Every structure is written in C-alpha cells, then in structure tokens.
C-alpha cells in the first residue's frame, strides 16, 4: 500500500470570470509561483507534496474534487495567491467554488486556505468559506506545523502559528503569528517545477510583441519576496499585519527578502536547459530596487550567455542610468513602471511622490537604451476627478509607451485603502469577483468627486482611446511590424461587458 500524500496544493481557476473573452487567447497563463514555492518548502521538511494547477489544466471543480477523493491527501491547501498582490482577492470565487466542491464530496477532508486575501480577512474567510482552517500569514510555517499536528489521532492545533480554526466548542481560535521566513536560500531554494504542467503556460501578449508572438514556453519566478513600500492601494503587506488583533497595519513592516543572485541564475539555467525557457517574468513586486542585487543577476546571466526575453516591475526613482545597458544586455526587454497618475496631488495622496519631469526623463532613457516600457496607470484614486483622470490619460498618450495598463482604483482587502473605505462607508463590490479589473461585475472605488461606475466608464474608454489611436498604432507598427499592429487591433476588438456601466 502506497504512503498517504501529505499535502495537495490547489491553484484555483477563475480566468474566464476574471478576463472574460480576453482569457481565451490574450491573457497570460501564469505558473502558480507561490504554490511551487510552498511545495519546495514542505518537501524540504520531509513531507510528500503534489500540485493541481486548475488554471493551466482547465479542469472543473467537480474534476478536482474527484481527484482529491482518489489522491486522499492528509491536507488540501487552496492557494489564494495571484500573480501580483491585488490579484489574490479576484481568485477568491474560484477558490471558494473548489473548496465547496471538495467538502461536499468528501466532508471529512481537511482543507486550509492560504494567501493574501484570506490573510487579510482570516475571521471572515473562516466564517464564510467551507474550509477547516485559514492561515493569516504567508502560510509556509503554518502548513508545515499543521501537517505535523495532523499526524496525530488527536491533533493539538494550539501551537500552529498563524492558524485560525474552530475549537471543539465551535469557537474561533487564532494562534500566535509566525516569524518572517528569512532563510530563502536554504528552505525555498527554487520552485517545484516538476509538479507543474510546464507546457501549458504562456506569456502576456505584449511580452512577445518584439519576438514574433512566440509566447511559449514561459515561466514566472521571484528573486525577492515582499516589499519595503507601503502604497495605500497595495495589499502586499497583508500577511505581515497584526491580523484582527489590531486595526490597520504595522508601520514598521518590511517584508523585503532576497534570494542570492547565484541561486536565481542557477534556477534560470535549469529552466533554459530542461524546458527551453526564454520568456521570463520576474514577479518581484519591485525587481529594480536594490542595485547590487539586480546588477549581480544581470552580470551572471550575461556571463552564462543565456538568450532571454525578461520583463520586470520597477519604479521611476529606482532606475539608475548605469543600470540600463546592463539590464538590456541580460535580456530585460520590458520594464513595467507604476506611474499611477499625472496629477501631483493625486500621486502624493497614495505615496507616489515622484515629479512628472522625472517620469518623462527616466522613461525616455530606458527606451533609448532599447528596453520597452509598460506604463501602469490608475484612475479613481481618492483625489481624482474628471480633469485629473484626463490629465493621466493625456500623459499616457504623450509618453506613448510600448504597452500600457489602465486600472481602476480598488480597495483591496489588506490595503490601507480598504480600511479607509470601511471607515468612510464607501461602496465596495458585493462579490469578490467585483475586485477584478476586467470582470462583468467590476466596481471601482468612488472618489471624492466621482462614482465608481463613472471611474470604470472612464477607464474603459481610456483603454480604447489609447490602443486604437493612430499615434500608438503607428509607433507599434514602426517598431514591431504590421502583424503586431494587427494583433493590437484584434485585442481592442474585445469589448468588456460591464454591469455597472450603461
């Protein structure tokens, strides 16, 4: 008789609901980086692990429940992490559905939910979802200690850090917080790629605009975890807050940690040699931050002669002139900048105090160095009105970067903005899917001057005005060719259905 599987990690599927018609060919299919890291961490502790990536495999919740019944794991972990911090909440409908399906078919199966959203709202998640446990931190040590406890006939859950659960009397218990995991190089040296369907993943469409649209094979990976910043609209610090023992977030939290550059590049080499990987997303919340770290990784990639097509996140104030050529030579062909807004008052309100002239100067230098730019903009920040949002769109059109993402401001659970929204009584989405940027029921925050539907209507019109404009299309054709221009035209032919926009 085979030994029982200890941990089954499930990456929920919600792609069609999140992206509508864009999910078929336009959106990326991302590897579940956090599930892969958790698998490595737990295997290194001596437990057996497997992963079901519902999104990549395109399987139903019924299929997964039946697989769980066949596999009989000691513990199922539903991983409610997205591919950026804000994506965790929009994963919740898929996570909730698969949790229900498993518990309906196998009521005795133990299920834990982990991830940024449930860490932000542990009590509510435990009360509303059909899981047995919720992790209020990153979930790594929680799952390990829970597996240890579940080996006993009468498990003692009281010492499992960051665990929320019901005691024998039906009362909710919350345990002490877990320490911040620091030893990434030993305990989570790499991602458990062998447990993932590697041939299923594909890059974002724009990631390959300059490479004849060869979007596969593709991976995403981290070189750092966490972030030292505290932007009010971001929920990345949610797993490190005080949970529901205190309101708000600890001002002192700095969750930023590194893998050694040699370990990062060794993993890239493994992916190149074993899976033929060229397209890579560096999923760090802020890759271009620590100059020594970035430079060491780039130099190692160059020394080893890898031919890569990389994209990564950065800030305007972290890109130094002497880094641009080095990054380009290492294969970093795309940098995504969080520009957010044109109006200085609007930017400063969300802790993005960067002068507009600096934005133009840095982006011009990066593009002159041969690196393409994705400009990220947010409409509907608290100080936004029709005029300031138009200023942001005008700036985006003037910058005319190779790609742009237009977002509506959301009060994601775990962000300071969410606490403000609750305190002020602002209207929030009725369902977790409403926190997605592209869903049918998307509902942004109101501003001091505009309703959420007004913000959403502006955002959707801005998207089409930018990508259907001759200035952008002519630039794309001149830089990438006629086929890429047609691809953009095909992309904008997808019109999102919205319940809250007439």
| Total domains in the fold of the chain | 2
Residue 315's Cβ-count burial label (10 Å; 0-12, 13-18, 19+) is: middle
Residue-level pLDDT at 341: 87
| Dihedral sign for Cα atoms in the order 470, 476, 479, 483 | negative
pLDDT tens profile 421-452 = 888 898 899 999 999 888 889 999 999 899 99
Is position 23 within any domain?
A: yes
Same domain, 316 and 383: yes
**Helices vs. strands in the chain: H and E counts, helices first:** 19, 15
Yes or no: say if 319 and 288 are a contact pair by the CB < 8 Å rule. yes
Same domain, 356 and 474: yes
Same domain, 140 and 274: no
Paired tokens of 182: 């620091």
Residue keyed to tokens 């990066």: 366
Give the CATH number for residue 202.
Answer: 3.80.30.20
Same domain, 12 and 47: yes
Q: Report the share of the chain in percent with pLDDT over 90.
A: 65
Mean pLDDT of the region 13-21: 55
**pLDDT confidence bin for 84, thresholds 50/70/90:** low
- pLDDT: which is higher, 22 or 361: 361
Residue-level pLDDT at 241: 59
pLDDT tens profile 305-357 = 999 999 999 988 889 999 999 999 999 999 999 888 888 777 766 545 577 88
Same domain, 321 and 456: yes
Same domain, 144 and 205: no
Query: How far, in whole angstroms, is CA 358 from its chain's centroid?
Result: 27
User: 346: closest CA among 428, 257, 455?
Assistant: 455
| Final residue before a domain boundary, out of 174, 208, 237 | 174
pLDDT over threshold 50, residue 245: no
Q: Report the share of the chain in percent with pLDDT over 70.
A: 89
User: 403: closest CA among 429, 372, 435?
Assistant: 372
| Final residue before a domain boundary, out of 174, 190, 212 | 174
Same domain, 44 and 166: yes
Same domain, 204 and 129: no
Same domain, 340 and 213: yes
Is position 160 within any domain?
A: yes
Is position 247 within any domain?
A: no
pLDDT tens profile 29-66 = 999 999 999 999 999 999 999 999 998 998 899 999 99
Can you tell me the distance from the alpha carbon of 227 to that of 99, in angstroms, rounded to the nearest whole number?
30
Is the peptide bond between 217 and the residue preceding it cis, with omega within 30 degrees of 0?
A: yes
Is position 363 within any domain?
A: yes
Can you tell me the distance from the alpha carbon of 35 to that of 51, in angstroms, rounded to the nearest whole number?
7
Task: Measure the CA angle with vertex 30, ends 315 and 123; round to 5°.
Answer: 80
Yes or no: say if 149 and 156 are a contact pair by the CB < 8 Å rule. yes
**pLDDT confidence bin for 19, thresholds 50/70/90:** very low
- Write out the residue range of the structural domain in which residue 118 sits: 7-174
Is position 388 within any domain?
A: yes
Can you tell me the distance from the alpha carbon of 414 to that of 317, in angstroms, rounded to the nearest whole number?
25
| Final residue before a domain boundary, out of 174, 209, 238 | 174
Same domain, 86 and 136: yes
Same domain, 371 and 463: yes
Give the CATH number for residue 155.
Answer: 3.40.50.280
Could you give the maximum distance between any two Cα atoms of the chain, in Å? 69
Can you tell me the distance from the alpha carbon of 204 to that of 277, in angstroms, rounded to the nearest whole number?
15
Is position 185 within any domain?
A: no
User: 129: closest CA among 180, 168, 164, 173?
Assistant: 164
Is position 157 within any domain?
A: yes
Give the β-pairing of 172-174 and 163-166: antiparallel
Same domain, 204 and 74: no
Is position 211 within any domain?
A: yes
pLDDT tens profile 265-306 = 999 999 999 999 999 999 998 899 899 999 999 999 999 999
**pLDDT confidence bin for 500, thresholds 50/70/90:** confident
Paired tokens of 28: 């990326």
Yes or no: say if 312 and 298 are a contact pair by the CB < 8 Å rule. no
pTM, two decimals, is 0.90
**pLDDT confidence bin for 243, thresholds 50/70/90:** very low
């Amino acid at each position: 008789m085979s030994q029982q599987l200890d941990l089954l990690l499930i990456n929920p599927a919600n792609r069609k609901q999140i992206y509508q018609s864009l999910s078929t060919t336009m959106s990326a299919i991302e590897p579940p980086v956090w599930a892969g890291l958790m698998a490595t961490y737990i295997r290194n502790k001596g437990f057996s692990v497997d992963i079901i990536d519902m999104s990549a495999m395109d399987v139903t919740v019924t299929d997964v429940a039946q697989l769980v019944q066949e596999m009989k794991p000691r513990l199922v972990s539903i991983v409610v992490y997205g591919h950026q911090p804000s994506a965790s909440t929009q994963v919740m409908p898929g996570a909730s559905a698969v949790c229900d399906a498993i518990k309906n078919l196998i009521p005795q199966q133990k299920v834990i939910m982990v991830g940024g959203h449930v860490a932000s709202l542990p009590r509510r998640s435990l009360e509303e979802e059909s899981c047995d446990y919720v992790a209020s931190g990153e979930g790594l040590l929680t799952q390990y200690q829970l597996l240890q406890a579940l080996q006993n006939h009468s498990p003692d859950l009281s010492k499992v850090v960051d665990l929320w659960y019901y005691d024998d009397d039906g009362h909710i218990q919350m345990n002490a917080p877990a320490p911040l995991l620091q030893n990434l190089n030993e305990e989570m040296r790499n991602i458990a790629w062998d447990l993932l369907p590697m041939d299923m993943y594909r890059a974002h469409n724009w990631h390959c605009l300059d490479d004849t649209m060869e979007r596969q094979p593709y991976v995403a990976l981290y070189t750092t975890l966490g972030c030292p910043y505290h932007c009010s609209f971001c929920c990345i610090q949610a797993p490190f807050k005080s949970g529901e023992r205190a309101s708000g977030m600890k001002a002192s939290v700095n969750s930023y940690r590194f893998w050694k550059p040699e370990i990062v590049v060794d993993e890239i080499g493994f992916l190149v040699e074993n899976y033929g990987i060229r397209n890579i997303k560096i999923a760090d919340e802020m890759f271009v931050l620590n100059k020594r770290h970035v430079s060491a990784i780039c130099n190692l990639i160059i020394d080893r002669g890898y031919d890569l097509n990389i994209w990564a996140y950065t800030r305007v104030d972290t890109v130094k002139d002497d880094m641009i050529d080095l990054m380009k030579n290492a294969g970093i062909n795309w940098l995504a900048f969080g520009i957010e807004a044109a109006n200085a008052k609007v930017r400063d309100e969300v802790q993005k105090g960067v002068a507009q002239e600096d934005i133009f100067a840095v982006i011009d230098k990066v593009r002159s160095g041969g690196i393409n730019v994705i400009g990220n903009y947010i409409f509907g920040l608290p100080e936004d009105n029709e005029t300031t949002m138009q200023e942001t769109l005008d700036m985006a059109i003037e910058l005319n970067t190779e790609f742009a993402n237009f977002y509506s401001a959301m009060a994601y659970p775990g962000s300071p903005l969410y606490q403000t929204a609750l305190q002020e009584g602002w209207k929030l989405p009725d369902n977790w899917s409403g926190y997605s940027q592209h869903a049918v029921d998307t509902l942004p925050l109101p501003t001091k001057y505009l309703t959420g539907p007004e913000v959403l209507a502006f955002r959707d019109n801005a998207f089409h005005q930018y990508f259907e404009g001759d200035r952008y299309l002519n630039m794309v054709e001149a830089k990438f060719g006629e086929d890429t221009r047609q691809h953009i035209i095909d992309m904008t032919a997808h019109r999102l259905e919205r319940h809250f926009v007439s």
